[in-house]
Amino acid sequence: MTPELTALLQLVRPADGAAMHAARERQSQLTKPPGALGDLEALSMRLAGVFGTDRPDPQGVAVIVAAGDHGVAAEGVSAFPPEVTGAMVANFLADTPAGPGGAAVNALARSVGAQVYVMDAGVAAGLPEHPHLVRAAVRPGTRNLRREAAMTRAEAEALILAGAALARQAIEDGADLLIPGEMGIGNTTPAAALTARLLRLDAAEVTGRGTGVDGAALAHKVAVIREALGRSAVTEPLDVLAEFGGFEIAAMLGVMLQAAASRRAVILDGFVEGSAALVGVALVPALADYLFPAGECAERGHAAQLAHLGLHPMFRLGLRLGEGTGGVLAAPLLRGAAATLREMRTFAEAGVPTA
Q: Which residues are catalytic?
A: 323
Burial class (CB in 10 A: 0-12, 13-18, 19+), 318: exposed
C-alpha angle with apex 97: 94 to 103, nearest 5 degrees? 45
| Gyration radius of the chain's alpha carbons | 20
Amino acid at site 186: G
CB 309 within 8 A of CB 290: no
CA–CA gap between residue 145 and residue 72 (Å, rounded): 6
Phi-psi region of 261 (alpha: psi -120 to 50; beta: other; left: phi over 0): alpha
Strand partners, 195: none
Phi, psi of 330 (to 5 degrees): -80, -20
CA–CA gap between residue 258 and residue 130 (Å, rounded): 25
Residue 331: name the closest of 314, 344, 348 by CA: 314
DSSP calls for 309-340:
HT---SB-------TTHHHHHHHHHHHHHHHH
By DSSP bridging, strand 175-183 and strand 265-268 are parallel
CA–CA gap between residue 217 and residue 211 (Å, rounded): 11
